[in-house]
Amino acid sequence: MSYKYKQPLEDALYRKLNKDKSVNHFFQTKYVGKCMKLISDFHKYHESKTHKDWEFSYKCTVGFKQLSYVSQRIHLKNQWIPLEQVKQYVFYRVIGQTWNGYQQELSIIDELKAEFTNIDIVKTDFEKDHTYCIDAEIIKDDYIVLGIQIKPISYKMMNTAYQNRAKANHKEKNDNYARMFAPYVYVYYDDNGIVDKQETINKINTIMHLNI
């Protein structure tokens, strides 16, 4: 993967803020913009795609003043945390995590491309990703053969009531994709890349063989 933003706070403080509903309220799209659409459009329309280009793109569309506003609002209820740390936290949550997540998906897609050299594997646009929770598609002879959902291996372990509802919602979207376009498969990754890589490749080959 290319440049990766590092989490700037102590882990305990970062986890505490992430669990605070009053904090998470300010990461809604009305405050920070549709981050995944913004970075999807950034990759689609910008020739230079460094992390600094991404920061500049966000600054030009949503504006860093908005991040400052969010930081101030969060700090009002958490004045025991230095404002500068809150600003670092907000910047990472919005700019850093959006970039890291998108780059991770591109990295896994590149890893798959190295294994499947005779077909096209393309990143889906924001609309299809948002509607169907499908991150990439395998294309052969201009025909969609398979959809791919890319998830960290930790996704399998998520089991709270909220997480299970979110997973059920994702599956419903995935199933809608299968009805509209093609079968889908989940590809899991960790810090070393695709988990159970050979098994994943075999599964993809089997589904493609049945679907061609």
Give the model confidence (pLDDT) of 137-149 as tens digits. 999 888 999 999 9
11 phi and psi angles, rounded to 5 deg: -55, -40
pLDDT at 211 over 70: no
Whether 134 contacts 184, CB under 8 Å:
yes
185-203 per-position pLDDT tens digit: 999 999 999 999 999 999 9
- Which of 104, 138, 163 terminates a domain? The answer is 104
Q: Mean pLDDT across the chain, nearest whole number?
A: 94
- Which of 104, 126, 142 terminates a domain? The answer is 104
pLDDT at 49 over 90: yes
Specify whether 27 is located in the same domain as 90. yes
| Three-state secondary-structure class, residue 150 | strand
In total, how many domains does the chain have? 2
- Residue recorded with tokens 């689609």: 44
Task: Say what the pLDDT of residue 140 is.
Answer: 87
Is 1 within the bounds of a domain?
A: no
CA distance 205 to 177: 19
157-195 per-position pLDDT tens digit: 888 888 899 999 999 999 999 999 999 999 999 999 999
CA distance 90 to 23: 10
Task: Say what the pLDDT of residue 176 is.
Answer: 98
105-144 per-position pLDDT tens digit: 999 999 999 999 988 999 999 999 999 999 999 998 889 9
99 lies in which domain range? Answer: 11-104
Whether 14 contacts 7, CB under 8 Å:
yes
Is 60 within the bounds of a domain?
A: yes
pLDDT range class, residue 210, cuts 50, 70, 90: confident
Specify whether 81 is located in the same domain as 126. no
| Three-state secondary-structure class, residue 142 | coil
- Which of 104, 128, 152 terminates a domain? The answer is 104
Enter the tokens of residue 132.
Answer: 């169907």
Specify whether 85 is located in the same domain as 50. yes
Q: Smallest Cα–Cα separation from 91: which of 174, 6, 165?
A: 6
